[in-house]
Structure 1
């Protein structure tokens, strides 16, 4: 540690602001300086001492040494003892006083006011030589310079001052090769230490030749591996190892949001619970949620067999729509009973009078990962139409959206783990038969989740502490009420037209028979004035903008580029599908027919096949074990997802024209089910009877 001035006194010569100045006077926290040109100035003492070029150049007689605290810890005892010996002699040579008595009498032979530095150095060399310790003048001067520059730490051998990394005196080539092996192991599967040792040996042979580098013993290798792989989980969980490798090397950043909706994060994760789907299958579900950073509000969350782009887009609409009270919910969950400013908010939107205690938040910026559901044109268009800034995270960097990651993890630990059918996060934590305990359907689980979210809003959150009262943790609703009072916030509900804007879009031609979309034909009487005409807008000016719902292919919406608004076109074969049918079921049915050699197939055949698939799902399982038979896992997943999204929780705009009823003389479609074949029993194999047979 360098020498510092003991006191700043009047008359001291200091270097400040690029020139030498003399301290003329000190009064309180003010210092009066006079430079060589006799120009006076007054500066604050704190500003003077914090100056980058501030230096006291007063003779060393008024200088002392700050005590070293902890700088020598961990060094060998002999090195510490040697540094203390040098410190005592150097302080005496520089100040004239003993090291342990800075205010004692000055020794005449070391008095800085009488003897020059050269004279004092020669005197100290002679004194040490007489005491039996021969030290040359060059060594003394070098130690004195290091002491003035670095303090007592400069008196230690530089070879001992390097930060210990646990590798000791091992060959640097061996350590470098082992570090490289450990780095490459990050993305690989976990192996034993012996495998890593063999990789290190091969790497040393490739780089330096066989037998050139001495290999460490088995015990030394394990010691080096422990030191090099510290904190990396090299021999542990591969998932944890990859997660740690994704953390930034520098200091973690922190994003501070000062108003609701300023920054929100969205993500999806599979839940560790088995549920009963509508067709009787037992499988997992995915949770997609959106959280507000400023208030930690879980603004919306939906359960789906698998997350699609339209799910993420419509999740934005749910965050901007009041959550209604459900039958059976306690009255304490109403917004009117919460700390939310319901009086002022109800004056803006009457629906909030019967809403649950979840704030309506309009997103300004959305942070998401680079999953297909979020980087799709559907989600980007939804953000653009709502005026939301779309901000994708860096590739493979979950630390860019830590709040939603933590929130979804809280849902897994605080909600999912209490459900019947909880299967644990891995096979290691799984019970004997969690599928047998699965009793909740997806719709029932969604209702339970919505009620739990309302309770979450009133639970103190450790990340919402008042800076003026750190011991007080606020709930998301309390934080929302505080920020709204300070920043102001007006919830804006979505209209039916805005809902249509959130749907996926494409461009199609309005033909004489209607609009073809996905091998389906849609038509409406309102399309008559625009048949076989160009829209005049968009690429080429020919196609008309069409929006569609992937989970209900019964209708589409065509933008009226001439008069404004939307035209609802109904599917021509809607009468063959008594329930909403999804795009997933349609495409799956078409692929099944194509694999049977019936491609190209007609639109009506695809519709009948898709309806038959959904009918089998509605009939439920046929075997005694309670599981559907005769269908693949893909069939069950498609049917389950279609059934799940057949009755969406968000309001759909009413169609412009009613569905066309079937004609009176229309024939009913033939049943696709054929007569059941006779079951031929297979007897038990008997070796004696088989031996008596003559083949």
Structure 2
């Protein structure tokens, strides 16, 4: 046993309890040993050192085997030669063997088993001095410590080392100032490199005085390229701010094992011009709800601006079946999709006529901190549905990346095909996108609903089986797989529950019915309550009315006397053409042959998608111009006369038609409609001027 003490390291071979062991771990005062029979044991370090027969047989090799060419590349030749000279001497001090002969005999004066470290260092200092190079013991000890800590790179003069950040051997004060300038540029407008250079020079002078050498123009540009790599400092300010919001560490991974477990909601303006209900031409905002597990776009609505009631109604739409519309391809039916239609029919019979969009009941809703989502209305809707409400961190869009990506897909795969597309910025905008034949907001909502059904059958890159990563699944395929694996059973909302989530207003029931938003709604069931007080609500005279902002064809009046709801239809719904009826749909090109319950093919889905995008790109079919194209004012006036389409999603069954409605003349549909003549608004002051 050696008479001197030494450090015990991982990798040492020791003799303990009559057997050879290898030190595999050191934690505090505990030593983990593994013997020759691969049997592990844990021994306290004091007990190990005090035991009889303990001996360090073979010491672990120090960190000194890194090739010089791997870490000394780019350094001056003299610095490399000096580091290699020191390495040869220090290896001999630490191991007792020359660096060029690691398996050779151990020199007596450097034998670690019989000589202490200080004795070996004194012997080496004397040897170097005898060769004509004066090296003190303090310098040798410092070089030995740096060599054990950093390897051969620690033997190089720190002033000659290159920093592995792309800035080379530039003055650290200049680099630090440039980094500070670049960091401060994140939230500012984009400027040129010359402005950043001047800011850096002023900052260096303010912190270190005028004596710091500044880099040349070429050197500055190299430093700027290294410091701003991946930050878009000289590029798009929007991209720069977006990158700054990303997490500095590793991105987390949220895994949802069943549909509806986690869903994300968000709003974004679409880069397309539409005609609003008041006849004005402006952009529209889309609010969408995406399921993380299946990437299903469960619901999406278009509004001039998102309000709390729109976000609450979106939750209800995700929990109700999406019916097929007239003119949709048969390939888009749920009965012809991969969805488990037969098993879901036992839950809700409405699915027999539904489109291929799964009904998903949310469990957790993730949203940003917009006013529409933090409002009491949206929170109350979440509580009534039993949903967990989870706002994101402030100004952190990476907390809901799935809805951000989905809304971006809508912009690139749908919006760009529409007339009136104005691009994402003025740089990408055409001359006059408003001069094109524009869709109304209700017409565009119908096209979007059809596109979403096609989206559900499109392979999604984020839906890949870990065991078959080369094959991407569609949202409907993923939903079918999770339903079978997780035993998920969706519970759609009933009509009464759906109406309860709609926005409400209080209106009087007059002789002509109920009027909301300048539209009159009536029903025979309202007759006993005309001009009668309700007895509840503000003042006790008005009646509670629920309406759907996305379906103006009907409203629901609460029956305060007998309970339930009374469905009142819009008076002009049957006498005025609907927006979808105004379009010259080519049904023969779009409606596929009826094939019963045969599975839909990919070619049918692709053809339906092409037809939809072609129709969207053609724009609404307007009557031919007689002498000159219709002016913008004419289009606005015509837009005011447009109605909305038929009900878009399941509602309570409409009341049976009256005999008067059934006896309408058969030739009404063949009559030629007269041109719309815009009527001015009566102005009493202007009218009075004409009297004189």
TM-score in terms of structure 1 length = 0.70
Query: Within 5 Å, which residues of 2 pair with 1:145-544?
Result: 145-159=145-159, 163-167=163-167, 174-200=174-200, 217-275=216-274, 283-438=282-437, 440-504=439-503
Match of 2:65?
67
CA change 1:260–1:395 in 2 (3 A) is same
Q: CA deviation at 1:431?
A: 3.7
Q: CA deviation at 1:214?
A: 6.4
Q: CA deviation at 1:298?
A: 1.2
Match of 1:11?
20
In 2, are the aligned partners of 1:621 and 1:629 still within 8 Å (CA)? Answer: no
CA change 1:336–1:517 in 2 (3 A) is closer
**Residue 631 of structure 2 corresponds to residue 627 of structure 1:** yes
Task: Measure, in 2, the Cα distance between the counterparts of 1:455 and 1:67.
Answer: 61
Task: Measure, in 2, the Cα distance between the counterparts of 1:533 and 1:275.
Answer: 40
In 2, are the aligned partners of 1:275 and 1:441 still within 8 Å (CA)? Answer: yes
In 2, are the aligned partners of 1:267 and 1:369 still within 8 Å (CA)? Answer: yes
Q: CA deviation at 1:378?
A: 2.8
Larger deviation, residues 519-528 vs 115-124: 519-528
Match of 2:547?
549
Q: CA deviation at 1:363?
A: 0.9
Task: Measure, in 1, the Cα distance between the counterparts of 2:366 and 2:144.
Answer: 57
After superposition, what is the alpha-carbon deviation per residue over 1:381-406, rounded to whole angstroms, capped at 9, x for unaligned?
Answer: 22222112222222322111110111
Q: Which has the higher contact order (CA 8 A, sep 6+)?
A: 2
In 1, are the aligned partners of 2:415 and 2:421 still within 8 Å (CA)? Answer: yes
In 2, are the aligned partners of 1:310 and 1:550 still within 8 Å (CA)? Answer: no
Task: Measure, in 2, the Cα distance between the counterparts of 1:466 and 1:98.
Answer: 56
In 2, are the aligned partners of 1:270 and 1:287 still within 8 Å (CA)? Answer: yes
Q: CA deviation at 1:64?
A: 5.2
Match of 1:104?
104
After superposition, what is the alpha-carbon deviation per residue over 1:245-269, rounded to whole angstroms, capped at 9, x for unaligned?
Answer: 2222222222111110011111222
In 1, are the aligned partners of 2:275 and 2:439 still within 8 Å (CA)? Answer: yes
CA change 1:568–1:71 in 2 (3 A) is farther
Task: Measure, in 1, the Cα distance between the counterparts of 2:81 and 2:433.
Answer: 66
**Residue 128 of structure 2 corresponds to residue 121 of structure 1:** no
Match of 2:675?
none
Q: CA deviation at 1:627?
A: 3.1
Q: Find the residue that maps to 2:271 and give its secondary structure.
A: coil
In 2, are the aligned partners of 1:25 and 1:33 still within 8 Å (CA)? Answer: no
CA change 1:74–1:549 in 2 (3 A) is farther
CA change 1:196–1:16 in 2 (3 A) is closer
Pairwise CA RMSD: 5.0
In 1, are the aligned partners of 2:268 and 2:287 still within 8 Å (CA)? Answer: yes
Task: Measure, in 2, the Cα distance between the counterparts of 1:336 and 1:428.
Answer: 45
Match of 1:26?
36
Task: Measure, in 1, the Cα distance between the counterparts of 2:268 and 2:643.
Answer: 18
CA change 1:398–1:75 in 2 (3 A) is same
CA change 1:330–1:317 in 2 (3 A) is same
Q: Find the residue that maps to 2:469 and give its secondary structure.
A: strand
CA change 1:621–1:418 in 2 (3 A) is closer
After superposition, what is the alpha-carbon deviation per residue over 1:294-321, rounded to whole angstroms, capped at 9, x for unaligned?
Answer: 1111112233344333332222222112
In 2, are the aligned partners of 1:299 and 1:360 still within 8 Å (CA)? Answer: yes
In 2, are the aligned partners of 1:464 and 1:474 still within 8 Å (CA)? Answer: yes
In 1, are the aligned partners of 2:13 and 2:58 still within 8 Å (CA)? Answer: no
Task: Measure, in 2, the Cα distance between the counterparts of 1:184 and 1:321.
Answer: 49
Query: Within 5 Å, which residues of 2 pair with 1:81-92?
Result: 81-92=81-92
TM-score in terms of structure 2 length = 0.71
Task: Measure, in 2, the Cα distance between the counterparts of 1:553 and 1:430.
Answer: 36
CA change 1:504–1:277 in 2 (3 A) is closer
Task: Measure, in 1, the Cα distance between the counterparts of 2:134 and 2:36.
Answer: 47
After superposition, what is the alpha-carbon deviation per residue over 1:541-599, rounded to whole angstroms, capped at 9, x for unaligned?
Answer: 99999564374699675696xx995566999xx9999999xxxxxxxxxxxxxxxxxxx
Q: CA deviation at 1:366?
A: 1.3
Task: Measure, in 2, the Cα distance between the counterparts of 1:57 and 1:353.
Answer: 82
* Equivalences, count: 594
Q: Find the residue that maps to 2:300 and give its secondary structure.
A: strand
Task: Measure, in 2, the Cα distance between the counterparts of 1:17 and 1:184.
Answer: 44
